[in-house]
Chain A
Amino acid sequence: MTTRIGVVVFPGSNCEHDVVRAVQLVGGADAELVFHDRRQLSGVDAVVLPGGFAHGDYLRPGALARFSPVMEAVAKFAAEGGPVVGICNGFQVLTEAGLLPGALQKNAGLRFLCTVVPVTVVSDRSVLTAHLTPGERLSLPINHFEGNYTCDDGTLDMLRSAGRIVLRYADNPNGSVDDIAGVCNDAGNVVGLMPHPERACDELLGNTDGAGLIGSLVASATSGRGALSRSS
């Protein structure tokens, strides 16, 4: 049976089809859209919260999306060890939901950033970087106004010592503390990142640096199959 990746769609998500295409293209996985009002994930092997502007980013990015019915199923899936990746707006949703520490503030320069930036792989102990080598340099698209990662000093020390900083910007574009571009939870199965690896998976688009990340996710989802309770 082919590995199945669930891609959550909130009202205002806009990168879900990019993610579907990327996991099919890179990992040969099946991908399906999971709508925000669903209470079950119906046996998918991994979940991606895609980029966009869930609920219009009203109040704060992710503040309203975190109360969607589907998020209870996502939290349960994550607690059982299922791979969960939040990209851009999805990262914001995961921090608001308390599945990842910290918060994403407005960019330090108060500019919406739409560019390609160099990013360094810091840790390979996450489902998104398991097949990459720490120190590896990737060139990835970013596309955000609120990507300035913030946390208190105690949390930052904990993230550093536990190897939970997954990706760092080589040239910090948004003011993120310690150049953080992505973090994971303690078990490494929940990951959030501001760059968009799904937009860098096809040679037609001139950049395939995201393929290693998407490939790691699909491989982690495949190897985790059966190890997870399928009750969700």
Chain B
Amino acid sequence: MRFSVLVEVRLRPGIADPQGATIERALPALGFSGVDQVRVGKAVRFLIDAADEASARAEAQDMAERLLANPVIEEAEVTVRADGKPDAAS
């Protein structure tokens, strides 16, 4: 079966995020108030052939730990869907 996968990579809590801080400072200038704790991360999307959803998830988790995220500063969250369309993970 074909699954669509979304891996969200973000900085671990407590790791300074200069990009998030810059965006947070910029938003009030555009009139957006009350915004707090902005964090910037990465989204990696792909399709994968796997026997079932659990093995697709396990593969994606392994990729996240070994390549997509740097465990020293980042954590990853994996979302798997069974519809297998390129944009389905969005």
Q: How far is the CA of A175 from the CA of B15 in the complex (A)?
A: 12
Q: In the assembly, what is the distance between CA of A63 and CA of B42, in Å?
A: 14
| B residues 24-65 in Cβ contact with A at 8 Å | none
Q: Across the interface, do B18 and A107 meet the contact criterion of CB distance under 8 Å?
A: yes
The interface size of chain B toward A, counting residues with CB under 8 Å, comes to 10
Shortest distance from the beta carbon of A177 to any chain B beta carbon, whole Å: 9
Asked if residues A150 and B18 are in contact (CB atoms below 8 Å), the reply is no
Say yes or no: A150-B15 contact (C-beta < 8 A), given A103-B72, A103-B73: yes
- Nearest-Cβ distance from residue B74 to partner chain A, whole angstroms: 8
Question: A92-122: contact bitstring with B at CB < 8 Å (1 yes, 0 no)?
Answer: 0001100001110111111000000000000
B15, B22, B70: residue with the most chain A Cβ atoms closer than 10 Å: B70
In this assembly, does A151 line the interface, its C-beta being within 8 Å of a C-beta of chain B?
yes
Name the residue among B22, B68, B73 with the largest chain A CB count within 10 angstroms. Answer: B73
For the complex, what is the distance from the CA of A106 to the CA of B73, rounded to whole Å?
Answer: 12
Instruction: Report yes or no: B22 in contact with A110, Cβ–Cβ below 8 A.
Output: yes
Residue B1 at the chain A interface, CB threshold 8 Å: no
Interface SS of chain A: loop
Q: Check B70–A96 contact: CB distance below 8 A.
A: yes
Which residues on B sit within 8 Å (CB–CB) of A95? 72
CA distance A151 to B19 in the complex (A): 19
Select from chain B the residue with minimum beta-carbon distance to A155. Answer: B72
Does A59 lie at the interface of the complex (its beta carbon under 8 Å from any beta carbon of B)? yes
Q: Report B17 CB to chain A, min CB distance, Å.
A: 9
Contact A59 B67 (CB under 8 A): yes
A60 contact from B15, B19, B22, B70, Cβ within 8 A: B70
Q: How far is the CA of A149 from the CA of B15 in the complex (A)?
A: 11
A175 adjacent to B18 (CB under 8 Å): yes
Residue of B nearest to A64 (CB): B67
For B4-17 the 0/1 string (1 means CB < 8 A from A) is 00000000000110
Decide yes or no: A110 and B72 within 8 Å by CB, A59-B67, A63-B67 being known contacts: no
| A105-B16, A110-B18 given; A151·B72 CB < 8 A | yes
- Which residues of B are interface residues toward A (Cβ below 8 A)? 15-16, 18-19, 22, 67-68, 70, 72-73
- Additional pairs, 11, CB under 8 Å, beyond known A105-B16, A106-B19, A175-B16: A59-B67, A59-B68, A95-B72, A101-B72, A103-B73, A105-B18, A108-B16, A110-B18, A150-B72, A150-B73, A175-B18
Instruction: Return 17 A-B CB contacts under 8 Å, by A number.
Output: A59-B67, A59-B68, A63-B70, A67-B67, A96-B70, A103-B70, A103-B72, A105-B15, A105-B73, A107-B18, A108-B16, A109-B18, A110-B18, A110-B22, A148-B18, A150-B73, A152-B72
